Amino acid sequence: MDRRTFLSTAALAATAVATQTPLPAAPARKRTQEAGLSIRFLGTGAADWNGPDARGEHRRNASVLVERSFLIDFTSSARDMLPDGVWPEVIFYTHSHRDHYEPAAALEAGVRQVYLNPTILLKAREDFREAAGKTGLPMPVITTLGPGASARVGDVVVTALPANHFVSFAEQTQIYLLEKEGARLLYATDTGGIPAMAARLAGIDAHRDGEALTALIMEATMGLGHEDDYRIFSHSSVGTVLQTLRVLTETGRYAAPEGQRVYLTHLARTLHGTQAELDATLPAPLRAAYDGLEVTFRK
C-alpha cells in the first residue's frame, strides 16, 4: 500500500463525518508577510502549574499561536499571552484534558472554527453549546479531523496524527504536523514518544516516503534526572526527545537549518529546574520554550 492510499484509508477510518473533505475550508486569512512558520508559545507548562511557584517561575497551560491566526489548544490561563488585537478564529485540539481544552476561553479569544478528533465530537458539541450560552458568543463550526486528515488555514496545512496519551478508552488524542512553504514542523504534546502510526503518516518512519522534518516542538514533561517517572507511559522526557531527535537526524528524517533549535514544552513544575537552570544545562540543540517566546521556523 502506498502512502497516499494509506493516508486516505486512515483518514476515512478515523473520521466520524462521512462528508469531510481532505482539506476542509477554514476562514480566509491574509498572507503572512514573514517567510517561514511563526509560532508564539502562549503556555509551556504541564497540568501541575497553577500560577507562579515558590521560585518565582510561571508557566501557563501548554498552547501555541501559529502565524498569529490559529491556536493549538488554549485555556484561560494563557489569555494574557495573546498579542493585542489578535483574535484567532481557528483552534485545533490535541485532546480534552482541562489544561488543553476550555471551550469558553476559546470563544472569548475569537474562535469560530474548531478542529478535533472524531472521538470527542459529541462531547465538544455539548461543551461548546454550553459555553456559547454562558458567554453569549456564537456557536463555532466544529469539524472532525482524524489521523491522516488535513485542514488548511491560510498558507499552513495542518495534519492530525495520533498521540500516545490517555484521557479515556473512548478518546483518541492527537499531535499535529504543520507545513508551510517547505517548512515541516511536528508539534508533539501530550504524547509518550512518537507513535508508529504518527511516524508513518508523517512519512518519517522506516518506510519513509515523505519529506524530512525541518522543525520539532516536543513535550518534555519529565526533566533531566526524571526519566523513570511513571508519567513516561503517556508523556515524554528530555531523554525521550534526545533519542527521538538522534534517530531522526541519523536517518535523514530531520534536517533543520543550521542553528535552529528544538523546543521543549509541557514542562512539569516538579520535574524541572528554573528557566535559567534549563538554559544552562539542556544539551544542544534543545531549548526550553517559555511563555511568550516567539520563533520563526524555516525550511
Pairing, β 63-66 against β 286-288: unpaired
pTM, whole model, 2 decimals?
0.89
Which residue, among 231, 180, 246, has the nearest Cα to 32 in the 3D structure? 180
Strand partners, 167: none
In this prediction, residue 274 carries a pLDDT of 97
| Ordered mean pLDDT values, 10 residues apiece, the chain (299 residues) | 40 36 46 75 97 94 98 98 97 98 98 98 98 98 98 98 98 98 96 97 89 97 94 97 97 95 97 97 97 96
Cell digits of residue 115: 478542529
In this prediction, residue 4 carries a pLDDT of 40
Q: DSSP of 106-173, one letter per residue?
A: HHHHT--EEEE-GGGHHHHHHHHHHHHHHHTPPPPEEEE--TT-EEEETTEEEEEEE----S-TT---
Q: DSSP of the chain, one letter per residue?
A: --HHHHHHHHHHHH-S-TT--SS------PPPSSSSEEEEEEE-B-TT--S--TTS---PBSEEEETTTEEESB-GGGGGGSPTT----EEE-S---TTTB-HHHHHHHT--EEEE-GGGHHHHHHHHHHHHHHHTPPPPEEEE--TT-EEEETTEEEEEEE----S-TT---EEEEEEETTEEEEEE-S-SS--HHHHHHHT-STT--SPPB-EEEEE--B-TT-TT-GGGGTS-BHHHHHHHHHHHHHTTSB-PPTTPPEEEE-B-GGGS--HHHHHHHSPTTEEE--TT-EEEE--
In this prediction, residue 217 carries a pLDDT of 98
Cell digits of residue 36: 517561514
In this prediction, residue 208 carries a pLDDT of 81
In this prediction, residue 34 carries a pLDDT of 57
Cell digits of residue 271: 520535574
Q: In whole angstroms, what is the distance from residue 297 CA to residue 12 CA? A: 31
In this prediction, residue 12 carries a pLDDT of 38
Cell digits of residue 124: 465538544
Is the domain defined by 3-25+35-297 classed in CATH 3.90.700.10?
A: no
**233: amino acid identity, one letter:** F
Which residue, among 219, 293, 297, 298, has the nearest Cα to 41 in the 3D structure? 293
In this prediction, residue 8 carries a pLDDT of 40
As a whole number of Å, the CA-based R_g of the chain is: 18
